[in-house]
């Protein structure tokens, strides 16, 4: 019977304590990891914006060349 219960619950047995109102495990490096994650997201967003700005500048250059030909 234990085998059947383990199969039915799958990997959720680790989280059962949390679901039943138990304490969550505290990661001592959680704050540092979150700060690093936020910094990485900010950096990716800046890189994305810079890339789009370069692409738009290139498009505008092509548009101006087309205008000048006419």
pLDDT tens sequence across 12-59: 556 666 666 666 667 778 899 999 999 999 999 999 999 999 999 999
Q: Are 35 and 41 in contact (CB under 8 A)?
A: no
> What was the pLDDT predicted at 29?
87
- The closest of 28, 4, 24 to 14, measured between CA atoms, is 24
The token pair at 42 is 């900010």
> What was the pLDDT predicted at 43?
98
Nearest-angstrom CA–CA distance, 46 and 21: 40
Q: Does 60 score more than 90 pLDDT?
A: yes
Kindly report, residue by residue over 34-46, the tens digit of the pLDDT: 999 999 999 999 9
């Amino acid at each position: 019977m234990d085998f059947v219960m383990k199969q039915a619950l799958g990997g959720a047995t680790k989280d059962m304590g949390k679901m039943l109102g138990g304490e969550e495990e505290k990661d001592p490096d959680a704050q540092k990891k979150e700060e690093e994650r936020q910094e990485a997201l900010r950096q990716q967003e800046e890189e994305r914006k810079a890339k789009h700005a370069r692409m738009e500048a290139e498009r505008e250059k092509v548009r101006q060349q087309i205008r000048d030909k006419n």
